[in-house]
Amino acid sequence: QIKELRAALGPLSARGEKYCNEACLVRYLEARNWNVDRSRKMLEESLEWRAARRPEDIRWTDVSVEAETGKMYRAPFTDREGRTVIVMR
């Protein structure tokens, strides 16, 4: 079903290819009880949201004012790709 979902998505942008690794596809399939059509729809909506909002481009300086209110903080670790992790309450 992973291959079926990848095929159903069709060609992806470079950003989409990076996001849609096998683990990502499995998460979407599990979220929709392994229904490929529903998983594809959900993932396409997520990709559209990511393209519009570009969460990978958010920097600490962009959101640090929220940290002053106690709503969020920068985690003392990074993700697997070395990026800063921001935790929001």
How far, in Å, CA of 58 to CA of 86, rounded? 10
Sequence ranges of the domains in the chain: 1-88
Q: Which residues contact 79 (CB under 8 A, 6 or more apart)?
A: 85
pLDDT score, position 28? 97
pLDDT of residue 60: 81
pLDDT of residue 81: 83
10-residue stretch averages of pLDDT, the chain, 89 residues long:
95 90 95 97 95 87 84 90 86
Q: What is the pLDDT of residue 68?
A: 86
